[in-house]
Homo-oligomer: A and B are copies of this chain.
Amino acid sequence: MTKPDIPSLTARLLKGDKLACAKLMTIVENDPADAKKVISRIYRHTGRAHIIGITGPQGSGKSTLVNQLASHLRKKGSTVGIIAVDVSSPFTGGAFLGDRIRMKDLITDRGVFIRSMATRGCKGGIARATCDAIKILEALGKDIILVETVGAGEDEVDIMNASHTSVVITVPGLGDDVQANKAGMMEIADIFVVNKADREGADIAVCELESMLGLTDKCGWKPPVVKTISTGSVGINELADRIDEHFNYLKENDLMRQKLKRRAEMEIVNIVKDVIARDVEEIKKSEAYNKLIEEIIEKKIDPHSAVDEILKMVKKRHVKE
């Protein structure tokens, strides 16, 4: 593979070239070192888009809702970027590709850019790669960026923290496991959606959420609960309005800086992890590393003490660079 011409690709990106955008996204996914070259060139062209994170459990109709929301935003004249993140594990994540097929209306719309990202095939952390992908869409000039994740593991929470507005989707009757853990979502959500609101129990779900929300404090913002039926486009208008209101609230109440600070701190931790992981991968090729592994197996050194030795090697690498 020829080395990508990052200066030329980023120049094209800033002129709105979607092909360059797709290529740059692949680059930041594949190589954390190249990601730095890309992001350092485009970072000052970011910061104008409204980034909206959307999460919820499997089967909550998330992708259809994202689809509907994107169509609505397009009709109102905004350009839209969509990143669908699949932090998959062998026990979950089955229906993901199927969901994407439903987006075919949007794919033919030139004002929309859609990208799926998955842990598999992504060298380095998915949260780091997603944050970089968001910046690329910002530099492409998208007005609104929708970032869709499944569930709320560590990576997903990081990804939600990269957004200005976090939307958490639930559906009526998802069972005790989910109900019992809604508390964990209270911290993330700026807006709640009860999707499939034509199902039995929708009003109870809304009531429950609202009573729990009485206990939260998000700098004066009370997360609204919106009922939607994404298959029938019900409630999408209201959801879009609430999202807009939240963004304005952030700006009017001087809360943007706080959001950006949290994002910067999260990004730094994830980039550090990636850089160190890359260093360790390099060190794994060395004879010294293999000798250490042998010594661990033979109980001549314990793994913690072996790491001391490895970190000395990492340090030497950084000195050389």
Contacts and interface: CB of A to CB of B under 8 A. Distances in A.
Contacts of A92: 151, 177, 181
Given A93-B181, A268-B310, A39 B273 contact: no
Interface residues of A, number: 67
A22 interface: no
Interface in A259-312: 260-261, 264-265, 267-269, 271-273, 275-277, 280, 284, 292-293, 296-297, 299, 301-307, 310-312
A40 B305 contact: yes
A302 B89 contact: no
Q: Which of A305, A311, A312, A318 counts the most chain B CB atoms within 10 A?
A: A311
A264 B303 contact: yes
A188 B58 CA distance: 24
Given A272-B280, A272-B310, A36 B265 contact: no
23 contacts: A36-B304, A36-B305, A39-B302, A39-B303, A40-B305, A89-B153, A89-B156, A89-B181, A90-B152, A90-B182, A90-B185, A93-B181, A94-B176, A94-B181, A95-B176, A131-B303, A153-B153, A261-B293, A264-B297, A269-B277, A272-B310, A273-B273, A273-B276
Interface of A: 35-36, 39-40, 43-44, 46-47, 57-58, 89-95, 131, 151-154, 156, 176-178, 180-185, 188, 257, 260-261, 264-265, 267-269, 271-273, 275-277, 280, 284, 292-293, 296-297, 299, 301-307, 310-312, 315, 318-319
